[in-house]
Structure 1
Amino acid sequence: MNLEGLPAVSAPLPWHAEAWQRLGLQLEEGRFPHALLLAGSSGTGKARLALALARLLLCHAPSAGHNCGQCQGCELSRNGTHGDFLWLQPGEKSRVVKIDQVRQAVDFAHWTAGFGQRKVLVISPANAMNTNAANALLKSLEEPSANTHILLVCERLHGVPATIRSRCQILRFPLPAAEPALAWLDSLTGERRVSSELLELAGGAPLRAEDYFRDSSADARLAQEAALTAVLEGRATPVEAAGSLAELANEYFLELLTDVVEKRIRQLGKGQLADQGRAGFGLLDDLRRIQRAMEGGSNPNAALLRESLLEQLRQQLGAPAAGAKMPA
Structure 2
Amino acid sequence: MQLEGLPAVSVPLPWQAEDWQRLEQQVSEGRFPHALLLAGMPAIGKERLALALARLLLCHRPSAGHNCGECQACELSRSGAHGDFLWLQPQEKSRVIKIDQVREAVNFAHWTAGFGERKVLVIAPADAMNTNAANALLKSLEEPADNTHILLVCSRLHGVPATIRSRCQLLKLAPPDTGASLGWLDNLTGERATSQSLLDLANGRPLLAEQMYRESSADTLLAQRAALGAVIRGEARAVETAAALSDLDAGEFLVLVTDFIEQHLRDLDGSQLAASGPGAFVLLDDLRGTQRAMAGGSNPNPQLLKESVLEQLSRQLGAPAAGAKMLA
TM-based fold match above 0.5: yes
Identity %: 70
- 2:296 counterpart of 1:291: no
Q: CA deviation at 1:174?
A: 3.1
Give the gaps of 5 or more residues in structure 1: 321-328
Runs of 4+ in 1 over 4 A off after TM superposition: none
- Aligned-pair CA distance for 1:26: 1.4
For 2:273, the aligned partner's letter is L
CA–CA distance in 2 between the matches of 1:168 and 1:275? 41
> Hey, what does 2:323 align to over in structure 1?
none
TM-score, scaled relative to structure 2: 0.95
Q: Superposition pairs for residues 246-285 of structure 1, below 5 Å?
A: 246-285=246-285
Match of 1:55 in 2: 55
What's the offset of the Cα at 1:319? 5.6
Are the counterparts in 2 of residues 88 and 101 from structure 1 also a CA contact under 8 Å? yes
Q: d(CA) in 1 for partners of 2:29 and 2:139?
A: 26
SS in 1 for 2:172: strand
Partner of 1:111 in structure 2? 111
Deviations 1:157-216 (A, max 9, x none): 011111001111111123212111011000000011111111111111000010001111
Check whether the contact 1:233–1:319 (CA below 8 A) recurs between aligned residues.
no
Shift of 1:275: 4.0
For 1:246-273, what per-residue CA distance to the aligned partner results, in whole angstroms no more than 9, with x for missing partners? Answer: 2211111001001000001111111233
Partner Cα separation in structure 2 for residue 284 and residue 197 of structure 1:
25
Match of 2:170 in 1: 170
The 2-side partners of 1:185 and 1:242 are apart by 33
Q: What is the aligned residue count?
A: 320
With the length of structure 1 as denominator, give the TM-score of the two structures.
0.95
In the alignment, the residues of structure 2 paired with residue 44 and residue 160 of structure 1 have an alpha-carbon distance, to the nearest angstrom, of 19
SS at match of 1:174: coil
Distance 1:28 1:282 in 2: 46
Equivalent in the alignment of 1:82: 82
Amino acid in the other structure paired with 1:173: L
Does the alignment pair 1:157 with 2:157? yes
Q: What residue ranges of structure 2 are gaps of 5+ in the alignment?
A: 321-328
1:189 aligns with 2:189: yes
What's the C-alpha RMSD, in Å, of the aligned pairs?
A: 1.1
Which amino acid in 2 is paired with 1:286? D
For the 8 Å contact 1:90–1:128, the answer to whether it is kept is yes
Q: Secondary structure at the match of 1:37?
A: strand
**Post-superposition offset of 1:146:** 1.0
Deviation at residue 318 of structure 1 after TM alignment: 2.2
Q: Does 1:22 align with 2:28?
A: no
Name the residue aligned to 2:324: none
Q: Secondary structure at the match of 1:252?
A: helix
